[in-house]
A and B are shown apart, each in its own frame.
Chain A
Amino acid sequence: MPGLTPKYGTKYMLIRKNSLQSLADTMSEPEIRGRSLWADARKRFIHNKAAVAGLAVLILVSVFASFGGWLAQYPNDEIDFMVIGQVAELGGPSFANGHYFGTDDLGRDLFARVVQGTQISLMVGIVGAAIAVVAGTLYGAIAGYVGGQVDNVMMRIVDMLMAIPYMFVIILLLVMFGRSISMLFVGIGLLSWLDMSRIVRGQTLSLKNKEFIEAAQATGVSSINIILRHILPNLLGVVAVYATLLVPLMILTESFISFLGLGVQEPNTSWGALISEGAGTMQYGTLWQLAFPLFFFVITLFSFFFIGDGLRDALDPKDR
C-alpha cells in the first residue's frame, strides 16, 4: 500500500523468519526443553549488555509513565494562560514555573502530556502486540493441529489477507467507527497476526508428530486441551520474542496514524501526536516540543529492539 506504512518493512526485519524458525526448532527439541533451557536463557540474557540496558531503560520509562503524573505540576489539559500566545518566549522548560518540559503550543504542560502520551503509546504497543500474538498463535496452532483441508483453507485465507493493504483497513476502521483507543488496538492488532500464524502453524505441524503429543492423544485428551497444554507452552519462546519485537512496530504505526490526524482524541495524546505537533513547530523556536517526546519515543524503541534481539539470542544459543 502506497507508503502508508513507512515502516512496513519493519515487520519483516523484526520477525526474521529464518532465525525465528531456528529458534522455534531449538525450543521444540525435547532434550533441551524444560527448566534448564530457561535458566540458561536467563543467564545468557543477563550477559547481554545491550539487552539489560534496554530492560533498565524500559523499566524507567514505565515508571515515568506510571508515576510521572505525581510530579506534574499541572493536569495535562490545563492551559496556562500566562504562557499561551507567547509560548516561544515563556513556554520553555523551566523548574521555576513547574513546566519541566516546557509547554505545548497552547500553553499546556508538556511534562504532563508526555507522561500521558507515554501511557497511551505503551498501551497501544503492548495491547496491539498482545492481540496480534494471541490471534496469530491460536489461528496457527489450530490450523497446524487440525491439518488437512481445514489447514489448507485457513492458510489460503492468510495468503489472501497478506495481499490487502493494511493501513487502508486501519484508516477505514478509524473513519467508520470514529477514532478511539480500542479501535486503534483492534486495527493495529489485526495488522500483524498473519506472520505469527504462519510460524506457529509450521511449528505445530512438527510438534504434532512428537511422541508426547501422540501419547496425549492416545490417552484421550481433547484436541483443545492438547493445543493449550502441550503445543502452546512449547511455542512460548517464539511468542515472547515475536511479541517484544512487535511492540515497537505497533508504536511506530500508531505514530503514523497520529500524523495523519487519526489518532487518539484530545485532550489525550500519544507520542506520535506529540512528535508530529512538535515537528510542525520546530523552526519557530519551540524545539523542546519535539525533543522531549521524541527522546522518550526513541529510547523506548531502542530498548524494545535490544531486548527482542537479546531474548532471541538467549533462547536460541546458536553462535551469534
Chain B
Amino acid sequence: MNSKLLLPIALGASLMFSISVEAKMMNGEKLAKEQVFTYRLLDDIKSFDPQINTAVQGAELMRDLFEGLMNEDIKGKLIPGAATGFTLSDDKLTYTFTLRDAKWSNGEAVTAKDFVYAWRRLVDPKTASEYAWYMELMGVKNASKVVKGEVTPDQLGVRAVDDKTFEVTIDNALPYFASMTVHGSTFPVLQSVVEKHGTDWTKPGNMVGNGAYVLTDYRPGEKVVRERNPLYWDNENTIVDKTVALIINDDNQALTRYLAGEVDKTEIPAGQYPRLLKQYPKQAYSYPRSCSYIYWFNIGEKGPKSLKDVRVRKALSYAINREIITDRILQGGQYQSFNFAHQKTAGFQLPKIDYAGWTQKERDAKAVALLAEAGYGPDNPLSLTLNYNTSETHKKIAIGVSQFWKKTLGVKLTLANNEWKIHTTKQQNGDYEVSRYAWCGDYNEASTYLDLLTSYSGHNVSGYSSKEYDRLMVESKTMKNPNANYAKAEALLAEAMPFAPIYQYTGVIMLKTNLRGWPVDNLMQNWYSRALYLVEE
C-alpha cells in the first residue's frame, strides 16, 4: 500500500542501526555484555515448518529462522527482506522481485528457485498445508487449482527468471500484495534439505534457514532456543546473540516468573495492567494490536427468529456497555469497538457510526425502545444462548454482557461455555444464536477484516449477505484508495448489525527496562529478534 517500497537496502540498514561495534554503543546507550533475550511462549510450537505453521507464535519464530521477500520495520512499515525490492508490471498483475546476495545457514546461496519451491510447496496437495488458502488469498495464478488438484504445482504462477529474479503472476490487482509476503507461509525453504530429511528437516541440527538465527535447541513443552546465524547477510548489525522462548501455559505463572527475572517479556493477565503500571511504570506496556473481538448474531437459516429482526440485533449491540468491558474488566487500554476493522489499521478511516457517539444512557434508552418495537418486553422476554470458548477472559466478558442484557433489556441469556473445537465447529456450522469471535488481521489493511463479511467469504458465519457490501469490497480491490469503500462497508455493517462489535485489541505486556527495539508501534506485532537489543543498566 505504501508506494515508497523500494528503499535501497543499504540505506535501510544504516538508518535502522547506527551502531559502532567496537564501542558497543547503540543510539547513545551502552550495550549489555550478554545479549540474550528470553520471552514467554504461551503454547508449545506446533510446527517449525514455514509452510505448515498456522500459529501466530510460530510465525514469530519463522521470522527469525527464515526471511521472506519483504520485512517490516519497527513501525510496521514494509522494508526489503530477502528481496532488495520489486517492480510491478503496468497491468499490476506481475511482480518481479530482485533477490539480494544472501546465504542459507549451510552456506548455499539463496536463489529464486528456493522461493519457487516453497511457494509451490505451500499449495501442493501433498504438503496438505492448512495455510494453503493464504496463497489463494494472495491471488497467485492457479493457486486454487493446484490446491484442488486440478493442475500440478508447477503450474502455479511463480517463476525463477534467473537465480536472483523471482516473478509472481496474480489473477487480480492487489494493492497490498507485497505486504503479504511478510507472512511466514511465503518464506523460502531449501529443497535439498527438506527432501533429505522429510518431516525431520525442522529438527535442530537438520534445519537450514536463511534468517538471522538458527534453531539450536528445542525441548518440547519447555523451551525453544535460537542463536545468531553468522552467515546471515546483515549479521554484523544483529545484536541479540540468542533468543530463548520459555513455554509457560499459565498467564499468572508467566507473570510470576517475569517478576522473578526469568523472562524479559510476558503478557499481562486480564485486569492486572493498571496495578502493574503503577508498580512498574517503565515495564508495563499497552499498544494497539490488530485484532477485533465481536459477538456474531446468527441471522442465517439455523438462527433464531428473534435475531432476524435488525431492531433486536441493534438493541442487543447498543445495550452492551463497552466502557465497562474495556476499562473495568480487561483494563489493558483496549479500544471500545463500534465497527469491525481495528481502528489503527493503516490508512483506515473510521466512518461516522451513530451509536458510537452516544452516551451509554442514550444507547440503553434506544435499545429498550427498539426491543419493545420488535415485540419483546417483560411479558415476552427475549431468550438467547451465548456461546463462548473456555477462557477466563471470554468468560468474564460473557458474564458482563449477560448482565447488561438482563438489566437493560430483560434478556434471558444462557451462557454456553464449550472447549475450542466444539465452539468452532458449532460456529462454522451455523449452529448457534450468539457466538464469540475474534479476528486478527493477516496484514495491515482493513480488507483483512472486511472481506470476512462478503457473502462469498468462507468465514462469514453470520449469514449476512448484502449485494451492496459485496460490490464495495470487490471494487476496493482495484481502487487506488480503497479506504473510502471500507468506510462505506463499515457503515453498512453498523446498519445491519450482523454482529455486535465489542472491543479492539491491545498488546498488554511487561518488558524489561533494558530491552530496546520492541515494535510497540507495529500494529501487526511482527517482531524480529535481530531488531532488538539489550542495554547496560
- Report the separation of the CA atoms of residues A178 and B425 in the bound assembly, to the nearest whole angstrom: 13
Contact A283–B252 (Cβ < 8 Å)? yes
**Provided the pairs A175-B419, A179-B417, A284-B275 are in contact, do residues A106 and B252 lie with their beta carbons within 8 angstroms?**
no
Q: How far is the CB of B186 from chain A (nearest CB, A)?
A: 36
Q: Which of B93-101, B160-168, B388-396 faces chain A?
A: B388-396
Q: Which residue of A lies closest to B417 (CB)?
A: A265
What is the bound-complex CA distance between A275 and B327, given in angstroms?
26
Shortest distance from the beta carbon of A164 to any chain B beta carbon, whole Å? 21
Given contacts A105-B396, A175-B422, A262-B419, contact A79 B331 (CB under 8 A): no
B414 neighbours in A (Cβ, 8 Å): 265
- Is B13 interfacial (CB-CB < 8 Å)? no
Verify if B237 is at the interface (C-beta below 8 Å from A). no
Looking at chain A, what size class is its interface with the partner chain? 20 to 34
| Min CB–CB distance B359 → chain A (angstroms) | 16
Chain B, range 379-419, C-beta contacts under 8 Å to A? 390-392, 395-396, 398-400, 402-403, 414-419
Q: How far apart are the CA atoms of A77 and B415 in the complex, in Å?
A: 12
Cβ < 8 Å to B, chain A residues 67-90: 77-79, 81, 84-85, 87-88
- A267 x B416 contact (CB < 8 A): no
Q: Does B438 contact A (CB under 8 A)?
A: no
Q: B57 contacts which chain A residues (CB < 8 A)? A: none
Whether, in the assembled complex, B271 has its beta carbon less than 8 Å from a beta carbon of chain A, the answer is yes
Is A26 interfacial (CB-CB < 8 Å)? Answer: no
Neighbouring B residues of A21 by C-beta, 8 Å? none
- Would B415 and A106 count as touching, CB distance under 8 A? no
Whether B399 pairs with A267 at a CB distance below 8 angstroms is yes
Q: With A79-B403, A85-B331, A106-B399 in contact, do A280 and B422 touch (Cβ < 8 Å)?
A: no
Question: Whole-angstrom distance between the alpha carbons of A102 and B395 in the complex?
Answer: 20
- For residue B32, CB closer than 8 A to chain A, the reply is no
Q: How far is the CA of A178 from the CA of B426 in the complex (A)?
A: 12
Interface size class on chain B is: 20 to 34
Contact of A265 with B415 in the complex, beta carbons under 8 Å: yes
> CB of B349 within 8 A of chain A?
no
The digit string for A53-75, where 1 denotes a CB below 8 A from any CB of B, is: 00000000000000000000000
Out of B390, B400, B416, B421, name the residue touching A106 (CB < 8 Å).
B400
**Chain A window 84-104, contacts with chain B (Cβ cutoff 8 Å), 1 for yes, 0 for no:** 110110000000000000000
Interface residues in B422-453 (C-beta closer than 8 Å to A): 422
Q: B251, B327, B416, B422: which contacts A265 (Cβ < 8 A)?
A: B416
Contact of B328 with A by CB under 8 A: yes
Q: Does B9 contact A (CB under 8 A)?
A: no
Indicate whether A281 reaches chain B with its CB closer than 8 angstroms.
Answer: yes
B256 in the interface (beta carbon within 8 A) = yes
- Rank and list the top 7 A-B pairs by shortest CB-CB distance, nearest first: A85-B328, A261-B390, A266-B415, A84-B328, A79-B403, A280-B252, A106-B396
Q: A105-B271, A178-B422, A277-B392 are in contact. List 7 more A-B contacts (CB 8 A).
A: A179-B417, A262-B390, A266-B395, A267-B402, A267-B415, A280-B251, A280-B269
- 25 A-B contacts (beta carbon < 8 Å): A77-B399, A77-B402, A77-B403, A79-B399, A79-B400, A84-B329, A85-B327, A85-B329, A85-B331, A88-B275, A106-B399, A106-B400, A175-B422, A261-B391, A261-B419, A262-B419, A266-B398, A266-B415, A267-B402, A280-B251, A280-B252, A280-B392, A281-B252, A284-B272, A284-B275
